[in-house]
Chains A and B, each alone.
Chain A
Amino acid sequence: DAKTTQPNSMESNEEEPVHLPCNHSTISGTDYIHWYRQLPSQGPEYVIHGLTSNVNNRMASLAIAEDRKSSTLILHRATLRDAAVYYCWSNAGGTSYGKLTFGQGTILTVHP
């Protein structure tokens, strides 16, 4: 699996945008970029994934660098419910392999 680095923690204010960075410098050509998050006292939940192009869904946007060695998860208007640990990684999982490779993640704190 590709080596992934994320900041240990970030802070934001409610209703402001949040940009969560992730470096996956050893990503290979067919690897997906995955983002999950884990709210307090809950199991992780899927946020978004991408391969080469930027992606949008109801929860967030994913901006992928042209060389794919980094990505940014964008929460357009943070809410208190977005306070969670955000995990990013890149590997071939997500197809039939299914193995998720969580790292340490970024603890996001949202201030009211």
Chain B
Amino acid sequence: DAGVTQSPTHLIKTRGQQVTLRCSPKSGHDTVSWYQQALGQGPQFIFQYYEEEERQRGNFPDRFSGHQFPNYSSELNVNALLLGDSALYLCASSLIGTDYNEQFFGPGTRLTVL
């Protein structure tokens, strides 16, 4: 049973560019959440997708957008990259409707903005 997978593993971009990160949820899961983790900090919630719609959003600007596909996979897009966007981007999946939706995390995508 494959867990949460993310691609690419590492990415280097320059300021002003756009980036797309991808996530495949754990088999059987229908919800995907994205988190940003700066060096030495805990992960910060960006947004969550369920049924191809954004259900919740954290305190991130509109430059951060996402999408969920019918197969439950998801993309995170960041436009007009800033140096401060350099971080580990984590994807987590879960199953809505359970009593407690434990989230399963992928290994992350390390984004460096130069």
A58 adjacent to chain B (CB < 8 Å) = no
Min C-beta distance of A69 to chain B, whole Å? 21
Q: Mark B92-114, 1 if CB is under 8 A from A, else 0.
A: 10101101111111111000000
Indicate if the CB atoms of B100 and A95 lie closer than 8 Å: yes
A42-B107 contact, Cβ under 8 Å, with A32-B100, A99-B56: yes
Measured CA separation A2–B105 after assembly (Å): 23
Total count of chain B residues near the partner, CB < 8 A: 28
Flag A74-108 by CB within 8 Å of B: 1 or 0 each: 00000000000101000000111111111111000
Q: Which secondary structure dominates chain A's binding surface? A: loop
Chain A residue nearest to B107 (CB atoms) is A43
Interface size on A (CB < 8 Å)?
A: 22
Task: Choose among B42, B48, B108 the residue that contacts A102 (Cβ–Cβ < 8 A).
Answer: B42
Nearest 4 pairs of A and B residues by beta carbon: A43-B105, A102-B42, A46-B102, A102-B43
Binding site for B on A (CB under 8 A): 32, 41-46, 49, 85, 87, 94-105
